[in-house]
């Protein structure tokens, strides 16, 4: 019954600006994880309503080669379902990046107001922009005036734990012309140590008329249903669980035990795809990054994680995966959050 309710909630189309998506479960942006190879895998497993790219530097987007860039890269087949997230602060640079994204025929543009890494905030980008809501809204308006495709913004609570901050910002973003918001209710310096405050999602949703995707700490279908029902949000953006279990989109949408729920086969397929899209050094680094999420599903996953981390190349990585799974490891119902960093 629970899954039936979830299925019907997720399978409602949602209008975002001039476009419509067919499902309300979307892939949250994740650096070094939500890349072109991972999204290719996701499509093979049934796809998802909308995917957000890793954050891309707005300063670089106008000059990137989409066929060789490590970040600003996609397959033609996914263009209509892919929003590119841009990171920056200077309005004209952000607008130039947005124009390139629109020209490429992608679904839309997403602005990053959440990254709180010091090296980024010191350039007044990412979560630093939460400190000056009026200036940030002006920047968003400038980008809005540059494009017609959907413009979205992903943001956090702010630098203090006060629900009035995201409510105020959400209203300003809507007024500046944003078509949809993704809200991750954590204060900026919190690296997912404390639980996300879902009650703030309800406050943001109430404050605006544009669609709001709730985000943060959804790991199981029960969590997803609870977020939708208790906050009233229009959709849910999945982060870490999407990497750990990429079949969740089709599983939760269609209420089926996915035949693809095969951890070893999925990991090996991703290894192939990563090698197809990235040069060897970057491919190995990206697979190692992903492997923490694979291992979070497994009892004694740390053992496999250490083997993969120490592997010298992709051949070693594949051997480690095959050896570990030949012993039929026990799967965890809820992933080990210590590995989901
Ligand atoms: C490794 C990693 C990289 C991330 N990179 C980005 C990013 O580039 N842009 C962004 O807006 N959020 C980024 N996030 C935040 C996620 O989009 C999401 O808000 C967060 O993980 C909470 O959702 P979850 O509990 O479903 O994982 C990242 C998170 C992780 C774990």
68 and 171, same domain (yes or no): yes
Phi, psi of 163 (to 5 degrees): -60, -20
Q: Which of 254, 277, 312 is the last residue of a domain?
A: 254
**pLDDT (tens digit, 9 = 90+) per residue, 141-176?**
999 999 999 999 999 999 999 999 999 999 999 999
Ligand 1, atom 10: closest residue by C-alpha: 29
Q: How far is the CA of 313 from the centre of ligand 1 (A)?
A: 27
Same domain for 151 and 19: yes
Pocket-testing residue among 25, 27, 30, ligand 1, by greatest number of atoms within 8 A of Cβ: 30
Q: Are residues 249 and 268 in the same domain?
A: no
Residue range of the domain that includes 293? 263-339
Domain tally, the chain: 2
Domain shared by 178 and 276, yes or no: no
- pLDDT (mean) for 65-75: 96
Both 282 and 327 in one domain: the answer is yes
pLDDT at 258 over 80: no
Looking at residue 1, what is its pLDDT?
A: 52
Q: What is the CATH number for 267? A: 1.20.225
Mean pLDDT of 276-293: 97
Please state the rounded mean pLDDT for residues 322-331: 93
Asked if residue 227 and residue 82 are part of one domain, the reply reads: yes
pLDDT bucket at 3, cuts 50 / 70 / 90: confident
132 and 222 share one domain:
yes
Does the pLDDT of residue 315 top 60, yes or no? yes
Same domain, 97 and 231: yes
pTM to 2 decimal places: 0.97
Give the pocket of ligand 1 (CB within 6 Å). Answer: 28-31, 33, 54-55, 85, 112, 114-115, 154, 184, 215-218, 238-240
How far apart CA 201 and CA 214 sit, in angstroms, is 6
Cα distance between residue 264 and residue 201, in whole Å: 36
Query: Can you list the alpha helix ranges (DSSP code H) found in 148-220?
Result: 164-175, 198-207
In angstroms, the CA 331 to CA 341 distance is: 19
Residues 274, 157 share a domain: no
């Amino acid at each position: 019954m629970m899954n039936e309710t979830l299925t019907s909630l997720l399978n409602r189309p949602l209008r975002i600006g001039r476009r419509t998506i067919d499902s309300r479960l979307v892939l949250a942006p994740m650096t070094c994880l939500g890349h072109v190879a991972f999204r290719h895998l996701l499509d093979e497993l049934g796809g998802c309503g909308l995917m957000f790219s890793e954050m891309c530097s707005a300063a670089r987007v106008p000059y990137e080669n989409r066929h060789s860039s490590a970040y600003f890269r996609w397959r033609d087949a996914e263009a209509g379902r892919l929003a590119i997230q841009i990171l920056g602060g200077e309005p004209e640079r952000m607008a130039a990046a947005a124009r390139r994204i629109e020209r490429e025929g992608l679904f839309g543009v997403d602005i990053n107001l959440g990254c709180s890494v010091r090296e980024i905030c010191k350039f007044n980008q990412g979560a630093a922009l939460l400190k000056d809501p009026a200036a940030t809204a002006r920047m968003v308006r400038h980008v809005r005036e540059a494009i017609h495709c959907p413009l979205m913004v992903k943001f956090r609570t702010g630098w203090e734990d006060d629900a009035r901050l995201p409510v105020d910002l959400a209203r300003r973003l809507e007024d500046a012309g944003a078509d949809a918001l993704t809200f991750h209710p954590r204060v900026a310096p919190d690296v997912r140590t404390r639980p996300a405050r879902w009650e703030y999602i309800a406050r943001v949703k109430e404050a605006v008329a544009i669609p709001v995707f709730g985000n943060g700490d959804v790991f199981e279908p029960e969590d997803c249903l609870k977020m939708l029902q208790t906050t009233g949000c229009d959709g849910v953006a999945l982060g870490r669980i999407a990497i750990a279990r990429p079949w969740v989109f089709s599983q939760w949408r269609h209420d089926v035990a996915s035949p693809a729920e095969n951890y070893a086969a999925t990991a090996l397929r991703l290894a192939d795809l990563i090698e197809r899209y990235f040069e060897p050094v970057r491919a190995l680094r990206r697979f190692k990054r992903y492997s923490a999420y694979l291992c979070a599903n497994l009892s004694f996953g740390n053992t496999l994680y250490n083997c993969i981390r120490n592997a010298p190349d992709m051949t070693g990585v594949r051997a480690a995966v095959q050896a570990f799974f030949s012993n039929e490891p026990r799967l965890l119902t809820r992933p080990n959050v210590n590995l989901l960093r």
